[in-house]
Amino acid sequence: MRKQIAAANWKMNLTYKQGEQLLDDILEERIALADHQQVIFAVPFPYLIMTSSELAGEANYFAAAQNCYHKKSGAFTGEVSAEMLESVGIKYCVVGHSERREYFSETNAMLAEKLDLCLAAGIKPIFCCGEPLTIREADQHNNFVETQLRESLFHLSAQQLGDVVIAYEPIWAIGTGKTATTEQAQEIHAHIRSVIAAKYGKKAADGISILYGGSVKAGNAKELFSCPDVDGGLVGGASLVAADFTKIIRALS
């Protein structure tokens, strides 16, 4: 059974103390996860060690980085490598979030390099893909997302792909309050899985977790997660509110 995941993306929010308190409030709910369920907190770099410490001893709870650099090491002041993340015990890293693509000009080729470095370091990438509104309105979203997958993922072996989580982000729904309908979410997630199946086979496609990442809220999580090809969510704003994120965790199937 593939993993069902509630992943929090704090983005550039919260002070250290606020982040610590948020984790405490969520963990105080004592939500026991089934073996196939995971909760992941993608936090700013300065909070990674604190988050790992808070989660120590909590089964199926993990800290994740929000990004890493696309080179192994070198004179890249201010950047953080996958090897550095591994050295402090980080097991997951978000790769290719739409905000990184838009604001920092990250390309599919660059993300392919990041995936390789994460996997070489034993870190599981949460690979983000998704289309802007203009592409959706032109009914080109399937082709657009397929290109992202092909140019960033398809050099991987089937074994390597098994360590990747995919997060579909309808960019037009991030932070806008808009959310894809359950039908839209299921349709594109099923398409992503079919693209994976065409390249790697049905078994590999059936085993990969595909998260939805567009304005997931406490009120819509259960409906979204009930879709057969939606395996949880990559959650932004709602992950900053303990009461909301705990409801989203409980919505995992």
Residue-wise pLDDT for 1-47, tens only, equals 899 999 999 999 999 999 999 999 999 999 999 999 999 999 999 99
What is the mean predicted confidence (pLDDT) over 195-207? 97
Task: Band the pLDDT of 253: cuts 50, 70, 90.
Answer: confident
Residue from 88, 95, 148 nearest 117 by CA: 95
So what's the pLDDT on residue 151? 98
Name the catalytic one among 54, 131, 169, 189.
169
54 noted as active-site residue? no
Share above pLDDT 70 across residues of the chain, in percent, rounded to a whole number: 98
* pLDDT above 80 for 180: no
How is 67-109 classified by DSSP, letter by letter? ---SSSSSS-TT---HHHHHHTT--EEEE--HHHHHHH---HH
So what's the pLDDT on residue 1? 83
Name the catalytic one among 70, 97, 141, 189.
97
Q: What's the chain's average pLDDT?
A: 96
C-beta atoms surrounding 75 within 10 Å: 6
Long-range CB contacts (within 8 A, 24+) of 52-60: 52/88, 52/89, 52/90, 54/20, 54/23, 54/24, 54/27, 55/23, 55/27, 58/27, 59/32, 59/33, 60/33, 60/35
Compute the distance between CA of residue 51 and CA of residue 58 in angstroms, rounded to an integer.
11
Task: Band the pLDDT of 181: cuts 50, 70, 90.
Answer: confident
Residue-wise pLDDT for 75-125, tens only, equals 999 999 999 999 999 999 999 999 999 999 999 999 999 999 999 999 999
Q: Which residues of 126-142 are buried (b: 16+ CB within 10 A; e: fewer)?
A: bbbbbbeeebbeeeebb
Query: Tokens at residue 96, please?
Result: 């290719």
So what's the pLDDT on residue 215? 82
So what's the pLDDT on residue 171? 87
Please tell me the pTM assigned to this model: 0.96
For residue 68, give the amino acid letter: C
Task: Band the pLDDT of 131: cuts 50, 70, 90.
Answer: very high
So what's the pLDDT on residue 208? 98
Residue-wise pLDDT for 42-72, tens only, equals 999 999 999 999 999 999 999 999 999 999 9
So what's the pLDDT on residue 193? 98
What element of type H or E holds 186?
helix 182-200
Q: What is the CA radius of gyration of the chain?
A: 17
Query: Tokens at residue 112, please?
Result: 């392919």
Task: Band the pLDDT of 149: cuts 50, 70, 90.
Answer: very high
C-alpha 123: how far from chain center = 13
36 noted as active-site residue? no
Question: In the chain, what are the domains?
Answer: 4-250 (3.20.20.70)
Compute the distance between CA of residue 206 and CA of residue 211 in angstroms, rounded to an integer.
13
Check if the beta carbon of residue 223 is closer than 8 Å to that of residue 179. no
What is the mean predicted confidence (pLDDT) over 154-170? 97
